[in-house]
Amino acid sequence: LKRRFGASQNQSPPALPSLPIIGSLLSLKTDRPPHIFFQELQKKYGDTYSFMMGSHNVIIVNNHQHAKEVLMRKGKTFAGRPRTVTTDILTRDGKDIAFADYSPTWKFHRKMVHGALCMFGEGTASIEKIICREADSMCKTMGEMQSLAVDLAPELTRAVTNVVCSLCFSSSYKRGDQEFEAMLEYSQGIVDTVAKDSLVDIFPWLQIFPNKDLKILRDCVSIRDKLLQKKYEEHKTNYSDNIQGDLLDALLRAKRSAENNNTSTQDVGLTDDHVLMTVGDIFGAGVETTTTVLKWTIAYLIHHPQVQTKIQAELDRKIGRDRHPQLSDRGNLPYLEATIREVLRIRPVSPLLIPHVATTDASIGDYNVKRGTRVIVNLWSLHHDQKEWKNPDLFDPGRFLDKEGGGLCCPSASYLPFGAGVRVCLGEALAKMELFLFLSWILQRFSLEVPAGHPLPSLEGKFGVVLQPQKYNVLARLREGWEKGQALSTE
Ligand code: HEM
Ligand code: PLO
């Protein structure tokens, strides 16, 4: 293939056919989800190839060598983000972190949020305590719904939402809360319509025509913005220079201190819009990603009861029934950790990451890349690469354990569930704590199975800004000997 496309030195990557204005649209027509289609195109065009999306040049990277060059070795060069119609609606023209282009403002906000998230690790209201409080409440509710066929999604979402809600706003939601129900609805509307490379993102002029998805997105964003604005007003009223309780307080403090120093808040990007959009990002990312992974994990555990039994045996051996799992148990539960890693491999939350943009003329391997080119790292291809993984489509947590089965390992370099480099996920540590605690709490006392007469959960994802599983029902059965243990409390 290399010879055929002449990839010797400093050439353009192999390209799909393209026409003026519409670009390669005709060659991109498919009913498959994009990450799978892009993986298949490798057979014809090689691991790294390009096409035109309207007037934009796009490069797809399908192997880990090129992915690491883009994300790590040349991370800064490829740290740009494209502006698209849908993400501009969500983020008021990129005034957030995830969809903001590479700029001093993006750097500033990223650093601040990173600092705030690190700070929450300590203190009385530590993240661990918050997560355990929510895990406890979730397990109690699951106990009440025992032996019923239920969709666990709303309870999982509420637990995860309350963790980020505590971090961002120092608040949480009770079951059946109106505001929480509204949040569930608008957030799904956003996930369904934003950053899907729909036609308006390729041809921005299509906005002038009525468009159902764009209307859903605008309506949902407007509901979200009202909620964020309300939280912002509440914080402004209760703000004190000394108390820095949550992320929104931390952002407010930075804004006020810049104002007091007579720094133009416009320069560093500390306008009200920036503060709101940044919190919106962390709130949105905090909810949708972790919930999605929990749903995938439960779906896979139902398909593979032997994996579930093995995790439970490990929990019984290392923790027993007299106490709850805690973060310090993480090193002692390698099989559970391996299972989480395998779920993040086989169903990556963000199979195409978020598109990157070359901020200068650059190169990937032997290929020249022009400034402004969009670079999409196909994480799905990396995680399902036959050369890197034995039976990549098989769910096998054991692949992350060393030969003796006692320690964790990473059998391939082709594994980047959180991305890497300057744009690496900001919530990796938080997400890992949540996944570990929520899953260990659930599996310590419940066995999850498919209810009689219900189908097994589908393992096919719905492609969007996150790869979500389809809805399914579960039966959570209290494990033998747990009737007593239920009385355990977090105190
Ligand atoms: C970005 C994965 C949870 C906040 C990303 C990216 C990935 C990712 C793949 C894109 C990297 C790139 O474009 O190169 C995940 C996974 C999660 C998770 C698998 C859960 C298991 C979270 C959580 C938060 C969060 C809980 C919030 C606290 C962010 C932010 C960005 C990001 C703000 C944008 C970073 C930037 O563009 O500078 N994440 N994420 N993520 N994530 Fe996460
Ligand atoms: C999820 C729906 C929310 O209502 C808004 C939102 C904000 C930030 C986005 C998140 C959504 C989806 C997952 C994203 C996150 C930023 C980083 C994260 C894209 C759209 C990932 C996985 O990259």
- For every one of its 491 residues, what pLDDT tens digit does the chain have, with 9 covering 90 and above? 444 554 455 799 999 988 888 887 888 888 888 999 999 999 999 999 999 988 899 999 999 999 999 999 999 999 999 999 999 999 999 999 999 999 999 999 999 899 888 877 665 568 999 999 999 999 999 999 888 999 999 999 999 999 999 999 989 999 989 999 999 999 999 999 998 766 556 666 666 666 888 999 999 999 999 999 999 999 888 877 666 678 898 888 888 887 887 666 667 778 999 999 999 999 999 999 999 999 999 999 999 999 999 999 999 999 999 999 999 999 999 999 999 999 999 999 999 999 999 999 999 999 999 999 999 999 999 999 999 999 999 999 999 999 886 799 999 999 999 999 999 999 999 999 999 999 999 999 999 999 999 999 999 999 889 999 999 999 999 998 877 555 565 44
How high is the pLDDT of residue 237? 86
Of all protein residues, the one whose alpha carbon is nearest to atom 7 of ligand 1 is 418
Rounded to the nearest whole angstrom, what is the distance from the C-alpha of residue 464 to the centroid of ligand 2? 10
Of all protein residues, the one whose alpha carbon is nearest to atom 12 of ligand 2 is 285
C-alpha of 100 from chain center: 16
The DSSP bridge partners found for residue 375 are 59, 356
Q: Which residues contact 18 (CB under 8 A, 6 or more apart)?
A: 24, 27, 51, 52
Query: Residue 206 is which amino acid?
Result: L
What are the angstrom distances between the C-alpha of 287 and each of 164, 283, 427, 434? 7, 6, 11, 11
Of 292, 328, 291, the C-alpha closest to 159 is 291
Rounded-to-5 percentages of helix, strand, coil across the chain: 50, 10, 40
Rounded to the nearest whole angstrom, what is the distance from the C-alpha of residue 464 to the centroid of ligand 1? 15
Atom of ligand 1 nearest to the CA of 281: 33
CB 309 within 8 A of CB 335: no
Q: Which ligand is nearest to the CA of 70?
A: 1
Rounded to the nearest whole angstrom, what is the distance from the C-alpha of residue 417 to the centroid of ligand 1? 9
How high is the pLDDT of residue 168? 92
Report the residue among 113, 289, 352 best suited for mutation to probe ligand 2: largest number of ligand atoms under 8 A from its CB: 289
Rounded to the nearest whole angstrom, what is the distance from the C-alpha of residue 132 to the centroid of ligand 2? 24
Atom of ligand 1 nearest to the CA of 282: 27
Angle between helix 272-303 and helix 305-318 axes, rounded to 10 deg: 100
Helix (H, G, I), strand (E, B) or coil at 334: helix
Q: With a 6 A CB cut-off, is 86 part of the ligand 2 pocket?
A: no
Of all protein residues, the one whose alpha carbon is nearest to atom 43 of ligand 1 is 425
Of 249, 257, 256, the C-alpha closest to 232 is 249
CB 72 within 8 A of CB 356: no
Of all protein residues, the one whose alpha carbon is nearest to atom 15 of ligand 1 is 418
How high is the pLDDT of residue 491? 45
Rounded to the nearest whole angstrom, what is the distance from the C-alpha of residue 348 to the centroid of ligand 1? 11
CB 443 within 8 A of CB 315: yes
Of all protein residues, the one whose alpha carbon is nearest to atom 3 of ligand 2 is 284
The DSSP bridge partners found for residue 53 are 23, 56
First and final C-alpha spacing in the chain: 63
Prediction ipTM score: 0.99
Q: With a 6 A CB cut-off, is 290 part of the ligand 2 pocket?
A: no
Site of tokens 């949708």: 288
Q: How many CB atoms lie within 10 A of CB 277?
A: 25
Atom of ligand 1 nearest to the CA of 350: 9
How high is the pLDDT of residue 211? 81
Report the residue among 192, 465, 467, 468 best suited for mutation to probe ligand 2: largest number of ligand atoms under 8 A from its CB: 465
How high is the pLDDT of residue 57? 93
The DSSP bridge partners found for residue 59 are 50, 375
How high is the pLDDT of residue 116? 84
Q: With a 6 A CB cut-off, is 57 part of the ligand 2 pocket?
A: no
The region, left, alpha or beta by phi > 0 then psi within -120 to 50, assigned to residue 419 is left
Q: Which ligand is nearest to the CA of 341?
A: 1
Q: With a 6 A CB cut-off, is 87 part of the ligand 2 pocket?
A: no
Q: Which ligand is nearest to the CA of 191?
A: 2
Q: Cα(407)–Cα(400) distance, rounded to whole angstroms?
A: 9
